[in-house]
Amino acid sequence: MTKMHNAVVTGSTSGIGQGIATAFAAKGWNVMLNGFGDAGEIEALRAGLEAKYGVTVLYNGADMTKPDEIRSLVEEAEASFGQVDVLVNNAGIQHVSPVEDFPDAKWDAIIAINLSSAFHTIKAVMAGMKQRGFGRIINIASAHGLVASPFKSAYVAAKHGIVGLTKTIALEGAEHGVTCNAICPGYVKTPLVEKQIPDTAIARGMSEEEVIEKVILAAQPTKQFVTVEQIAALAVFLCSENAAQITGAAHQIDGGWVAR
């Protein structure tokens, strides 16, 4: 039986973040959800997790490009739960385009959501975690935090950045019971991946079927997508006592992609 925790998972109204929030609730932990989407669907998710697992599940729609909204989200979680023990920085977006055509606004948004938001959430939770002598911070990076692909300049820059941030926070938390790790997934079939297939097809002059076969699954020696559940199980493990000495690491879960 793992300790009961209070967790914040950014970008948890969809995909990987929703999977992690669900796995945390299934462990009996309280969860603060965040992310965009249809209000009715988000409320159904929130209420459904509460009813199924008997935990408190809250929702705060903070925009991860807005530092003041991020601070308010953490303040609301602390006020409601008493404290935040687990923080998962997961919110992320993608844009696929050759660098010469890459829109400035997309660069700024990707750096803000995929990298800077993690700085703001960590800054807001760190003092409390250090004071209590316990904290688990997990940054959802990517295989693109370790290696590059063409046409994803902002995403690859942000994901490499978050791996560096992970190491720094691990060192700052090391003597205070606060671990910080990055999870680096390969391709997971979520809306984020589904949406980039048409743009990748245009950028590479391929059909969408060819993109799945020759770009997406070709990157992964197993020729299979990583699943949301596999990533969520790794996140749960990283929060456990057995993971107390695992910190500052970038954990590949990518079907062998980065091993090449």
What does the binding site for ligand NAD look like in residue numbers (CB under 6 A)? 11-17, 34-37, 63-65, 90-93, 113-114, 140, 142, 185, 187-188, 190-193
Tell me the one-letter amino acid at 191: P
Nearer to ligand NAD, 150 or 191 (CB): 191
Complex with ligand NAD: residue 134 or 212, whichever CB lies closer = 212
Nearer to ligand NAD, 216 or 239 (CB): 216
Q: Closest CB to ligand NAD among 62 and 178?
A: 62
Nearer to ligand NAD, 114 or 247 (CB): 114
Q: Please name the residue that has the structure tokens 């978050």.
A: 162
Shortest distance, position 234 Cβ to ligand NAD, whole Å: 13
Strand, helix or coil for residue 69: helix
Angle at 158 between CA 13 and CA 137, to 5 degrees: 60
User: Are 234 and 183 spatial neighbours (Cβ–Cβ below 8 Å)?
Assistant: yes
- Here the tokens at position 96 are 């696929």
In the bound complex, what is the minimum distance in angstroms from residue 159's beta carbon to ligand NAD? 7
User: Cα dist. 59→18, 43, 45, 46, 218 in Å?
Assistant: 12, 8, 10, 7, 37
| Count of other CB atoms within 10 angstroms of residue 242 | 10
Query: Nearest distance from residue 148's CB to ligand NAD, in Å?
Result: 13
Which structure tokens are listed for 116? Answer: 């800077």
Task: Say how far apart CA 54 and CA 44 lie, in whole Å.
Answer: 15
| β-strand partners of 117 | none
- Catalytic choice (53, 59, 155, 187): 155
Q: How far is the CB of 80 from ligand NAD (least distance, A)?
A: 19
Has 155 been annotated as catalytic?
Answer: yes
**How many angstroms separate the CA atoms of 176 and 16, rounded?**
28
Phi, psi for residue 134 in degrees, rounded to 5:
-155, 135
Q: How far is the CB of 23 from ligand NAD (least distance, A)?
A: 14
Which residues are marked as active site?
A: 155
